[in-house]
Amino acid sequence: MDLTYLYKALLRNKWNILFSAFFGGLAGLAFTFTQKKTYLSNAQYSTGLTQTQKISLGLNEGNDYMQIETKFNNILTIFKSQNVMGMLSYELLLHDLESTRPFRVLSEKKKKDSAYQFMKIETVKRILKDKLSSLTLLSTYDPEEKRVWDLIRLYGYDGYDISKKLSIERVAQTDFLSVSFSSDNPELSAFIVNVIGLKFKEFYNLLTTTRTQESLSKLDNLAAAKRKEVDSLKSRYENFRAKIGTPNIGDAATAAMAGVQELTSSLTAEQTKLNNLNAQLQSVNDQLSVLNSTPASVIKSENHNEEIFALREKNKQLAAQLAEKSGGDPDIENRIAENTRKISQLSLLSGTTGINNAQKISDRKEELQTQRLKLVADISASEKNVRLLSEKVDYFSKAAHSGGGNEALANAYQADLNAAQKELDKYNNSIFASQDIDVSPDLNFKQIIVGQPATEPESRKRTLTVAIAGISMFFLSIILIIVFEFLDTSLRTPAFFTYETKLKLLTSINKIDLQKKELKDYFEIESESAREASPNFFIENMRKLRYELEVCGKKVILITSLRPNEGKTVILESLANALSMGKKKVLIIDANFTDNALTRTFNAKPMLETFSLNPQDNAIDKIWGVTSLTNISNTDIIGCNEGNYTPSEILPKNNLFLNIHKIAQHYDFILIEAAALNNHSDSKELSKLVEGIVMVFSSKNSLHEIDRESIQFLKTGTGNKFIGAVLNNVRDEFLEI
């Protein structure tokens, strides 16, 4: 569906669209007259969130934007919570029960409700006051409180009804909240925007007071635990200081020197281990390099056992020499690493075979890779141990020369004590600071604008409402039309027809009104009139069809349709008129036994069933005896009777169709009408006797499975006799789509 079609479809329904918009505007206007008057009250509250204080370990908390935004969201949530809305509902009902000027008075119908009739007013007041003082909600499980709740709903004061007209918003980029409410009573609106702030503060204070006490209790527990830790560290430091007394420089140096010797020995052993690991890693890397560079096919099977045994014996001797030296010897270590590498290479080259050679090399590579990863991890751990031992050796070396072994340990104890004391001071400062915070530490909530009863009702915005209603109906009608067009599967345009049927389209015939004007009148054209000045789409399209038949080279043409009432009779009669305008001699044969409309239209003699032509008969003389004249110049017709039979069943042996070639010599075109192809076999029987077939389709119809079967017959079952299709009853605006 292209945009051109949609545009023309909308243009065709322009009056429906305009009427829908007009009706929508009228509905909007009527709505404004039936609207109740509403009165709006506004109140404004300051939260002071940018100056908030709270109990925390960091006393200089900044005004973080995201934290403030989160706090505002929390405040809005509490405002709309069941607790706050419930307290507001209780205040409203209590006011109406006690005041001489209630906001709402129940109608007689509502007073008949059981919630009103079976409830004592004094009991309701008592329950509401108890709930307001304790800041608790009514329980629906308690029968008495359930009746109070039903009474609140009867008055329309429940949280759901109030929240529909209540608006609570933050004034952009400020500390202020704007609260507004609209109702049919100006005093009710003002009461709600003022009282809801009080109820919010009461409930918020209840929450934050509990949280403050919990925070203080937690700080006290943390401070007590930290105080015990400080006392323990202080006792440890004092006991150690008393034990060592006045430092003895000589003893300290001696102790530190002994520590240096012990750590140096450990450091040497670790360095030796590190060297061995590096040597093994180098050996593994060399083996991998050999395996990667040597093709498996060139490795031959050899025995290197003796050489391997000799290298292992050398390594044992070198290891014994290294142990006697009680330390590292780089020369011996390098020789051991080199022998180890040779042993690995010789082991690899020994015992290989041609068939399993590649597999063994692959397994060996995988084994070496695993060994390499383990060696890398061991080397990393050993390097860390070497660094740690080196640091300790340096530390004790300094202590040996400064005499500060015990003194250094005492200093470490004192540093731990000082750090713990600072943490304890922080807890104490937080506790002291929290004593000066208000009961509501997170919110400095104040009402800065008191809601006042409105003196005038809210504007009904009649113009805007009417405009919105009209525009809405305008676009809604457009959308509905587009949806219906998408759902429409009829062959409404030439483009849709070609897409659905894949048939050649000879021409499209626009819809004409035969109730107001007879068909022959459409062909009464004044030759002097200009074609462009008064275009006649119907005549022009019939001329196109005439041209298509003239160039196809076929004279005997069957005109049929898939279904009845698709317009094939009108098309055939119109085609005869068009051919007559072109000075053609035409014979019409009515072979539609189910509906002989052509015979009735021209008052033709029903001679088709009785006509036969023997070899000795003169064809032209015989034809003149059975044909009837029509009101179309140069056009004759042979009629038929209606009946429940087909051409093969009713026509005689030497019938008209079997001698059609003889008759065709005296006419330029022979046009034959037959029954619908879907319902009857007449067209199929006649298709074998004609030269060409033209199929008429109505643009109002959609294709079904039986239609597609008939179309398939036209494509494959008639040879090359199918000339094309005519799309009938097309709207003028869709002819070129």
Q: Are 16 and 478 in contact (CB under 8 A)?
A: no
Sheet containing 446-449: give its strands across.
166-170, 176-183, 39-46, 446-449
- Predicted confidence (pLDDT) per residue in 526-582, tens digit: 655 555 544 578 888 999 999 999 999 899 999 999 999 899 999 999 999 999 998
Query: Are the C-beta atoms of residues 360 and 352 closer than 8 Å to each other?
Result: yes
What is the spatial distance between Cα 492 and Cα 642, in angstroms, rounded to a whole number? 32
Question: How many Å apart are CA 120 and CA 241, to the nearest integer?
Answer: 82
Count other C-beta atoms under 10 Å from residue 623's C-beta.
Answer: 20
Structure tokens at 3: 């945009």
pTM assigned to the model:
0.48
Do the Cβ atoms of 670 and 633 come closer than 8 Å?
Answer: no
Fold of 494-734: Rossmann fold (3.40.50)
Cα Rg of the chain, angstroms: 54
Mind listing the pLDDT tens digit for each residue in 401-428? 554 556 666 666 677 777 777 776 766 6
Residue 62 has which token pair?
A: 């900044």
pLDDT in tens, 460-485: 777 888 889 889 999 999 889 888 87
- Please spell the DSSP secondary structure of 320-339, one letter per residue: HHHHHTTS--HHHHHHHHHH
Report residue 624 as tokens: 């003149």
Encode pLDDT of 7-42 as tens digits: 777 888 888 889 988 998 898 888 877 777 888 899
Q: Of 663, 587, 662, which Cα lies nearest the Cα of 628?
A: 587
Mean pLDDT of the chain: 80
- Structure-token match 């055939």, residue found: 572
Vertex 378: Cα angle to 375 and 384 (nearest 5): 140
For residue 372, give every residue at least 6 positions away whose Cβ sits within 8 Å of its Cβ, in sequence order, or none: 281, 284, 285, 288
Q: Inter-axis angle of helices 121-134 and 143-155, to 10 degrees?
A: 100
The token pair that represents 270 in the structure block = 């670790």
Token digits for 203?
A: 């409930």
Place of tokens 């029903």: 606
Q: What phi and psi values does residue 674 have, to the nearest 5 degrees?
A: -130, 170
Angstrom CA distances, 108 to 602, 662, 680, stand at: 81, 99, 74
Per domain, the residue ranges of the chain are: 1-35+464-488, 37-215+443-449, 254-403, 494-734
**pLDDT, greater one: 614 or 597:** 597
* Nearest to 84, CA basis, from 205, 188, 215, 245: 205
Q: Rounded mean pLDDT of 66-90?
A: 87
510 near 524, Cβ under 8 Å? no
CA distance 232 to 14: 93
pLDDT for 298: 44
Taking the C-alpha atoms of residue 171 and residue 47, their distance in angstroms, rounded to an integer, is 11
How big is the chain, counted in residues? 737
Question: How many Cβ atoms sit within 10 Å of the Cβ of residue 249?
Answer: 12
Res. 73: pLDDT tops 50: yes
